[in-house]
Amino acid sequence: MIKHIVMWDILGAGPDEKARNAQRLKAAFEGMQPIPGLLKLEIGLDLSGVDYACDVVLYSEFASRQALDDYARHPEHLRVRRELEGLRIARHQVDFETP
């Protein structure tokens, strides 16, 4: 199994705009149609409020490395990426394998 974690810092002129943009990102991922090989997807908004925290985290599990690669190119995922273009300031990613 491959676990795929992505964290974003979100664009926003102030806290309200940043919160709206984070909610928009969350809703877009939660609204994705099923993608083969994607076993689990969770997305959360930061509650800590600490200045070094990222604003949004995505946690997902894939059946295999190939499934993750296929997800990256899947039309549904690409649609969501296009929809959210320009909302992120920074992006961090970790992919790892578990038995």
Mean pLDDT by 10-residue block, N- to C-terminus, for the chain (99 residues)?
Answer: 98 94 96 96 95 96 98 97 94 95
* Per-position b or e across 29-40, b if 16+ CB within 10 A of its CB: beeeeebebbee
Report helix, strand and coil shares of the chain as percent, to nearest 5.
Answer: 35, 35, 30
CATH assignment at residue 71: 3.30.70.100
pTM, two decimal places: 0.91
Q: Pick the closest to residue 21 from 12, 8, 31, 32 (CA basis).
A: 12
Fill in the DSSP letter of residue 64: S
Q: What is the extent of the structural domain holding 60?
A: 2-97
Q: What is the pLDDT of residue 99?
A: 85
Q: What is the pLDDT of residue 80?
A: 96
Q: What is the pLDDT of residue 1?
A: 97
Q: What is the pLDDT of residue 49?
A: 87
Residue 49 Rama label (left phi>0; alpha psi -120 to 50; beta)? left
The structural domain count of the chain equals 1
